């Protein structure tokens, strides 16, 4: 393929091998995060937070290694293929941001986020925001510090926004969201004020085992690749993984069976996009998702345009 070393000038082959190591470590960190939310014993957080912090530090060290900067300088303007130029461009962007952030801060953010998870889960179960507020404040301050390290002269939210949407201007996102607010809020208020009763065909309670049978059947119908995925439960549904292992989670509310079905199809959309990434580009930017908007567009497409359609229900 175009990213391989056989058709690339020096020092691209060595550079690409290094990039893949960074990617593999990032993916290992994602597996640790999945495990903490799905299968890890409740008492495992003190160790998991240290493990996640250590892995984040090692990954950061590799990404900010001086050799990466040298390789990027050597490859600037070289006769690279379009795919190779894309890899260099994406790694340069990540490298330049990462070199501005102290390794100690990266480690602290990772450890604090891991320790925050059980606090959030308990506060959510108790419907007690105040119990989580101090932890949230700590995370916000750490993220502000992170943004200031990258660019102290810009709005920290704009800096952090680029972590998820590197090529979508914040002004564009704000314009889209403002239009949605301006048009959707009055529509919702009009519906609420009308005398039309919305359909509510589900009454009573539906046990989790029955709901799981339903969502598994839905995943089968949608073509979920069970050889490269699995279904579990989590306090808040999410999907994570790679094109070789894209997992989904859901949750079951006895009084809301459609909630589990909708969230499962939503996460299936994320997983389907991930599973569709090119296998032969795994470990490079060309084998990763484009950005959060593209990812979310796929989950919403499957959840709303397919999962809520009459054809799917029939």
Instruction: Indicate which residues carry an active-site annotation.
Output: 267
Determine the Cα–Cα distance for residues 91 and 85; give it in Å rounded to an integer: 10
Instruction: Give DSSP secondary structure letters for 269-280.
Output: HHHHHHHTS-GG
Q: Which two tokens stand for residue 66?
A: 């001086």
* Axis-axis angle for helices 12-38, 45-63 (nearest 10): 170
Determine the Cα–Cα distance for residues 120 and 130; give it in Å rounded to an integer: 10
Ramachandran region, residue 223 (left: φ > 0; alpha: ψ -120 to 50; beta: rest):
left
Determine the Cα–Cα distance for residues 93 and 259; give it in Å rounded to an integer: 39
Q: Which residues of 178-213 are buried (b: 16+ CB within 10 A; e: fewer)?
A: eeeeeeeeeeeeeeeeeeeeeeeeeeeebeeeebbe
Q: How far is CA 267 from the centre of its chain?
A: 11
3-state secondary structure of 248: strand
Number of residues that this document lists for the chain: 314
Q: Are 294 and 276 within 8 A, CB to CB?
A: no
Ramachandran region, residue 28 (left: φ > 0; alpha: ψ -120 to 50; beta: rest):
alpha
Determine the Cα–Cα distance for residues 272 and 278; give it in Å rounded to an integer: 12
Ramachandran region, residue 15 (left: φ > 0; alpha: ψ -120 to 50; beta: rest):
alpha
Determine the Cα–Cα distance for residues 70 and 161; give it in Å rounded to an integer: 28
């Amino acid at each position: 393929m175009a990213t391989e070393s056989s058709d690339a000038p020096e020092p691209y082959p060595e550079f690409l091998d290094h990039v893949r190591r960074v990617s593999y470590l990032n993916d290992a960190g994602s597996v640790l995060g999945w495990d903490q939310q799905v299968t890890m014993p409740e008492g495992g957080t003190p160790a998991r937070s240290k493990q996640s912090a250590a892995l984040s530090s090692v990954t950061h060290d590799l990404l900010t290694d001086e050799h990466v900067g040298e390789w990027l300088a050597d490859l600037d303007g070289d006769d690279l293929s379009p795919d190779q130029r894309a890899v260099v461009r994406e790694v340069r962007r990540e490298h330049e941001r990462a070199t501005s952030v102290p390794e100690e801060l990266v480690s602290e953010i990772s450890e604090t986020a891991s320790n925050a998870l059980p606090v959030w889960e308990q506060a959510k179960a108790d419907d007690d925001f105040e119990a989580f507020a101090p932890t949230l404040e700590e995370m916000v301050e750490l993220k502000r510090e992170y943004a200031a390290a990258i660019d102290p002269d810009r709005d920290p939210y704009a800096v952090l926004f680029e972590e998820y949407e590197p090529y979508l201007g914040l002004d564009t996102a704000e314009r889209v969201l403002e239009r949605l607010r301006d048009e959707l809020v009055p529509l919702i208020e009009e519906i609420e004020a009308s005398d039309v009763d919305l359909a509510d065909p589900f009454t009573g309670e539906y046990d989790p085992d029955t709901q799981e049978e339903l969502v598994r059947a839905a995943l089968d119908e949608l073509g979920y690749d069970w050889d490269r995925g699995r279904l579990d439960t989590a306090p808040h549904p999410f999907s994570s993984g790679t094109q070789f292992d894209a997992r989904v989670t859901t949750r079951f509310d006895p009084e809301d069976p459609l909630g589990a079905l909708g969230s499962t199809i939503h996460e299936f959309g994320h997983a389907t996009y991930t599973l569709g990434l090119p296998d032969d580009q795994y470990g490079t930017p060309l084998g990763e998702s484009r950005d959060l908007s593209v990812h979310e567009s796929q989950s919403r497409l499957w959840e709303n345009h397919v999962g809520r359609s009459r054809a799917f229900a029939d």
